[in-house]
Structure 1
């Protein structure tokens, strides 16, 4: 079974980034060159950028009318200088909402690791890029780091809300984003694992309860809160704060929690927020 600690050990031994180790592994497994894989990942990065810009325009609305325009509202407050949380956190919130809104309105996104959690990774990556003026090549490498986390999660647990609850989707996305942010910021391989673990621990047990069965409420807003959790986890890890529970064990715990979750809280829209009076009303009106 794949472990993240294996990646950390290899990276430390070879004095490489986690993303570089993942890239080498993927080139060997896919029989493609590293250059080819980097170009494919660059295309994904470009789709993420485009989704952010499209969502921030505030012009898209979902068929249900529940989603659309919130990213633009947060951006307006952020740009006006009124932000309570500062430019970086507000920027991440706006970007995460933007991408998730594009998904809810049938636009083009990158599932990272799923469509329902697609806003977290681009929001964090592009916020760190803006803050540190990172070269694009570093962002591409960081995406391979995020992919490495995602592969370990998929191997040891899963990234499906229907199997593991929202912790498996949005929690995994937060872990992937936190690790990528640490690497972009010059952190060590071990710190990427700490960041991912800290982020995922904060979202353990999160249920998947989409109102009316749509990937809209509360899914879109969870992307925004998960992006802020990822940045908080990255900040702690870069400061030297360690996760007392290793990432691989956090992933295993998430898997066990998902198995114990009732079906009503795993994407069936039969529990949680979906069963509130307002949730029922929205479903009835939409149908």
Structure 2
């Protein structure tokens, strides 16, 4: 790619008079030596998988093989139907959809890792809920996925997207930043607005540890996807309102790398710290081991 930082990406989009999504499509075509039809068609197929995961996660049984998780997305959908959510319609839908996709992942269903399996619910949750609200076409959503991809490309190359390397800030945090930036652009924001949304979102995730109970991408990973989707909506609203990330977004990404590198091994997806080492977390692991021994 011809950009390495969000500042470079924003400047190049401004010079080319393109959205981040449109610019990334052209970069992907140039880098891959494939036709635009092929590149966009592949991303369109990914979006259909995301939408199917949302549908499945919110309407079908998605019990995980461990038996620890499943059904929370349906519970939130049922609660939404009562009409009394504190979040309101769009945000509660994003929450439910993000939970649903994450539960599909935990039940070994098909998802798109954006940017990882552990954070797979955030972008679908945000995208599908806002598409339903605003009536955007699938073509528009697919272009926005390229915007999310451009943001993720920068984060992955300047910091981490892996919980094993940088904690959950690297997985959920990156996904929230990607979703926030892409949503800002979807709603008419400039590339500069989108970049500020990324910084605002990432700052709210700095230091988030990765502490999977039982070593499984279920507890607390799934609920963090739900919270992350709501955070992305908030970051986009802030950016569109003119709130700026006073610390430039590229510097925030650098801080995330520094924090991840300094994070103890126990808090980087090893299940040796955090929630995984609470009395309940240890009891769950012991029970899982007993079940595994009987199988």
Instruction: Give TM-score scaled by structure 1 length.
Output: 0.98
Which residue of structure 2 lines up, in the alignment, with residue 54 of structure 1? 56
1:181 equivalent to 2:183? Answer yes
Which residue of structure 2 lines up, in the alignment, with residue 84 of structure 1? 86
Which residue of structure 2 lines up, in the alignment, with residue 163 of structure 1? 165
Q: How does 1:69-218 map to 2 (within 5 A)?
A: 69-218=71-220
Q: Deviations over 1:216-265 (max 9, x none)?
A: 00000000001111100000001111110111111111000000000000
Quote the Cα distance in structure 1 between the aligned partners of 2:77 and 2:103.
Answer: 14
Quote the Cα distance in structure 1 between the aligned partners of 2:160 and 2:29.
Answer: 23
Quote the Cα distance in structure 1 between the aligned partners of 2:193 and 2:99.
Answer: 27
* Alignment: residue pair count: 287
Quote the Cα distance in structure 2 between the aligned partners of 1:102 and 1:28.
Answer: 34
Q: Give the 3-state SS of the residue equivalent to 1:159 in structure 2.
A: coil
Q: Give the 3-state SS of the residue equivalent to 1:23 in structure 2.
A: helix
Query: Structure 2: which 5+ residue stretches go unaligned?
Result: 290-295
Quote the Cα distance in structure 2 between the aligned partners of 1:119 and 1:134.
Answer: 20
Q: How does 1:231-242 map to 2 (within 5 A)?
A: 231-242=233-244
Q: CA deviation at 1:127?
A: 1.4
User: In 2, are the aligned partners of 1:128 and 1:184 still within 8 Å (CA)?
Assistant: no
Which residue of structure 2 lines up, in the alignment, with residue 66 of structure 1? 68
Quote the Cα distance in structure 1 between the aligned partners of 2:167 and 2:129.
Answer: 27
Quote the Cα distance in structure 2 between the aligned partners of 1:26 and 1:41.
Answer: 11
User: In 2, are the aligned partners of 1:116 and 1:215 still within 8 Å (CA)?
Assistant: yes
Q: CA deviation at 1:58?
A: 4.0
Q: Deviations over 1:103-135 (max 9, x none)?
A: 000000000000000000010111111121112
- Indicate the RMSD between aligned Cα atoms, in angstroms: 0.9
Runs of 4+ in 1 over 3 A off after TM superposition: none
Which residue of structure 2 lines up, in the alignment, with residue 11 of structure 1? 13
Q: CA deviation at 1:189?
A: 0.6
Q: Deviations over 1:19-68 (max 9, x none)?
A: 11111111111001112111000000000000000100141201111111
Q: CA deviation at 1:273?
A: 0.2
Quote the Cα distance in structure 2 between the aligned partners of 1:22 and 1:79.
Answer: 38
Which residue of structure 2 lines up, in the alignment, with residue 44 of structure 1? 46
User: Of the candidates 235, 258, 261, which is equivalent to residue 260 of structure 2?
Assistant: 258
Quote the Cα distance in structure 2 between the aligned partners of 1:189 and 1:99.
Answer: 28
Q: Deviations over 1:128-170 (max 9, x none)?
A: 1112111211101100000001100111012110000000000
Which residue of structure 1 lines up, in the alignment, with residue 23 of structure 2? 21
Which residue of structure 1 lines up, in the alignment, with residue 293 of structure 2? none
Query: Structure 1: which 5+ residue stretches go unaligned?
Result: none
Quote the Cα distance in structure 1 between the aligned partners of 2:86 and 2:60.
Answer: 21
User: In 2, are the aligned partners of 1:58 and 1:71 still within 8 Å (CA)?
Assistant: no
